[in-house]
Amino acid sequence: MVETIVKSIKVPGGKLLEIQLDYDPNECRVVKLYITGDYFAYPPEKIDEAEKSIESRPLALDLLDIVRDKLSYTTLYGVTVDNIVELLREAIEEAMEKCRQ
């Protein structure tokens, strides 16, 4: 069984950012991460690498460091790495709470 958490923000003075975190609540593992919105990233494949970097990993806040590291050499227009990491933190914390139930 897979559950989904979606978090989105309109970055002040910037663009829309959305995180979709698909996770397995029985195993408390990430199934898939989607980072989308109307921002621009260069090179764009770094977003894909960040998404794939946490697939199948246990839900934990250290996943934020992995994603931050993958995006460290990415130029973003309209959002920041911190915006992405903060939204992902919210999604991971919510998923972890649901796994405890």
Q: What is the mean pLDDT of residues 43-58?
A: 96
Q: Domains of the chain by range and CATH?
A: 3-100 (3.30.390.50)
pLDDT of residue 9: 95
- Beta-sheet pairing, 29-37 with 16-24: antiparallel
The string of pLDDT tens digits covering residues 20-39 is 999 999 999 999 999 999 99
Rounded CA-CA distance 17/57 in Å is 23
pLDDT of residue 13: 83
pLDDT of residue 10: 95
Cα(first)–Cα(last) distance of the chain, in Å? Answer: 15
